[in-house]
Amino acid sequence: FGSTEPGTKTVISREYSAEWKPGDEPYYPVNDAQNGALYEQYKALADAEGKVLFGGRLGEYKYYDMDRVIESALARVQAELAK
């Protein structure tokens, strides 16, 4: 821990899920019908862009645990490489 050289330290970040309540910062979309419809509108715009891929929690407009984010990203890459 005494070194100031780049790459010699590890940063660990922890994330704890919690139900949103009024007054909290809305940091992820809530998976409900209204946000699902909004996502479909964004997806249509993204699909029209052609060579742009949107993925992950924000790109897919839903909350994922990190293992599911990675699983989704790998599946997307595999699908793209198979084209």
Q: pLDDT at position 1, please?
A: 46
Rg of the chain's alpha carbons, rounded to an integer? Answer: 17
Confidence of residue 81 (pLDDT cuts 50, 70, 90): very high
pLDDT digits (tens, 9 = 90+) for 1-16: 455 666 778 878 777 7
Using CB atoms within 10 A of its CB, is residue 57 exposed (0-12), middle (13-18) or buried (19+)? middle
Expressed as residue numbers, the domain containing 29 is 1-83
**DSSP character string of 4-71:** -STTS-------------TTS---S---SHHHHHHHHHHHHHHHHTSS----HHHHTTS---HHHHHH
How many domains does the chain divide into?
1
Structural contact between residues 62 and 39, judged by C-beta atoms closer than 8 angstroms = yes
- The model carries a pTM of 0.53
Q: Which residues contact 35 (CB under 8 A, 6 or more apart)?
A: 29, 61, 62
pLDDT digits (tens, 9 = 90+) for 25-76: 766 667 788 888 988 998 898 889 877 788 888 888 777 788 888 999 999 8
